[in-house]
């Protein structure tokens, strides 16, 4: 439920060192921004967890709840070490500057 969503999100980001909340799955992203962010993370050859915000059966209400949780209006959203890093544009800019790898390797 909506009341449980923040606790569920916190549990997920605390459980996995790197989490990408995205539209679709790692194998089949459902938007260009999610696809681009998966590609960035794959290039870094890091292990990360993907959570499909469109899967209402497994993640009811998550698509809107994650936006409220992070105070960020778009998906995908990347979390590293339980901290919100950013969306697709921020991840791309950080990757181009070499900063994304630095954050992930901490």
Binding residues for [2Fe-2S] cluster: 31
The total number of residues written for the chain in this structure:
106
The residue whose two tokens read 């497994």 is 58
Cα(79)–Cα(59) distance, integer angstroms = 17
Binding residues: 31
Q: Which residues pair with 50 in a beta bridge?
A: 20
């Amino acid at each position: 439920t909506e009341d449980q969503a923040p606790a569920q999100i916190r549990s997920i980001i605390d459980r996995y060192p790197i989490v990408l909340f995205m539209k679709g799955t790692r194998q089949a992203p459902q938007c260009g921004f999610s696809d681009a962010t998966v590609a960035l993370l794959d290039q870094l050859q890091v292990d990360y967890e993907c959570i499909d915000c469109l899967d209402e059966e497994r993640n009811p209400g998550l698509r809107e709840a994650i936006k409220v949780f992070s105070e960020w209006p778009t998906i995908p959203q990347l979390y590293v070490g339980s901290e919100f890093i950013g969306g697709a544009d921020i991840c791309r800019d950080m990757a181009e500057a070499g900063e994304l790898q630095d954050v992930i390797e901490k």
